[in-house]
Amino acid sequence: MSAGGGVAGRVLVLAGGLSHERDVSIRSGRRVMEALRDVGVEVELRDLDAALLPDLAANPPAVVLPMLHGTAGEDGTLATLLELHGLPYVGTGPAACRAAFDKPTAGSLLAAAGLSVPRTLTLPQNLFRDLGSRAVLQAVVADIGFPLVVRPARGGSALGCSIVRDWEGLPSAMVSCFAYGDDAIVQPYVAGTEVAVCLVDDGSGVQVLPPVEIVPDGGFYDYTARYTAGATEFFVPARLDDGLTAGLVDAAVQAHRVLRLRHLTRVDCIVDEAGVPWVLEVNTAPGMTETSMFPLAVDAAGLRLGSLLTGLVGRLVPDAREPAGAR
């Protein structure tokens, strides 16, 4: 058995990469590495580069724990490669990653399952060029109205995301959004209580961590509010009554199941004035930085991040006490 913490062998934490969220990923990776070391697990932190695949083949770790946010990490690419190498990893499988990462696809699947998802218009950059921006935006505004939210169809950390309250701000919001990708989505702005629900699922059942309520100082949970310590106030558990909390948690767990996710999931929601939990986004590689909500929820549940992760990792590693192939 094991180097420590109930895990046999080395855990490779992957962080960094070349996505726009590299900085966040590095911080998540470091935090996770420390948490695992604290519980005695042998752990290595590594960036993504051209030497990764040969290294994995030459010196395979017991388990890979990807902490890559954005493209390559969350779009299923890395999961595909790890499966090709026959390496166990923490996180959702390739197909489910792809579906969850693409907000229009995820939204459609969730809406079809009966969850409340803001109406979503997906707008490729070419559409504006071919049909004229004014005409397209007029149609969009006629359908969605102000205030509305513009954001990239793929990617996280609120990068390229804007709340638009009038015509004047709309072209800039579109330009900022298209700087992060070729497809934008436009949704109505949902006012209410912003809450993140973090879930842990080792295959035997879903564990729901205390929902985290988000109150950013500036009113908008943008990149600065997310990653500047002190710029956002969190309430754990969220200040919702039991009925609303139950509805919120049900929605989050359903989203996790509909999208066929596993291990670590964060579902971002807004509970509106009528008590409806709107699912905004589902994250398959939730942030683990010092200002991220997942570790906050873990603490609030009275758990240790290292122990929680060790539990997930331990189930993926062929254990000396179990017959070969038991995993």
Q: Indicate which single residue of 146, 189, 220, 223 sits in contact with another protein (rule: CB under 8 A).
A: 223
Per DSSP, the three-state class of 257 is helix
CB 26 → another protein: shortest distance, Å? 7
- Applying the rule CB under 8 A, the residues between 160 and 199 that interact with another protein are 160, 168-169, 171-172, 174-176, 178-180
6, 21, 36, 186: which one binds another protein (CB under 8 A)? 21
Q: What are the C-alpha distances in Å from 130 to residues 48, 62, 120? A: 37, 51, 21
* Rounded-to-integer distance, Cα 261 and Cα 258, Å: 8
Please pick, from the candidates 213, 261, 287, 309, the single residue that binds another protein as defined by CB under 8 A.
213
Among residues 108 and 307, whose Cβ is nearest to another protein?
307
* Strand extents, DSSP E, 58-167: 63-66, 121-124, 148-152, 162-164
The neighbour count for residue 3, using CB atoms within 10 Å, is 15
Provide the token pair at 6: 């109930």
DSSP string of 310-322, one letter each residue: HHHHHHHSPPTTS
- Of 89 and 180, which has the nearer Cβ to another protein? 180
Q: In 3D, which of 292, 94, 102, 93 has the Cα closest to residue 198?
A: 292
Residues in binding contact with another protein, number by CB under 8 A: 64
Site for another protein in 103-142 (CB under 8 A): 125, 128-129, 133
The mark string for 230-269 relative to another protein (x by CB under 8 A, - otherwise) is xxxxxxxxxx--x--xx-xxx--x----------------
Q: Which helix (H) or strand (E) holds 207?
A: strand 206-208
Footprint of another protein (CB under 8 A): 18-24, 26, 125, 128-129, 133, 157, 159-160, 168-169, 171-172, 174-176, 178-180, 200-202, 204-208, 210-211, 213, 223-224, 226-239, 242, 245-246, 248-250, 253, 290-291, 296, 300-301
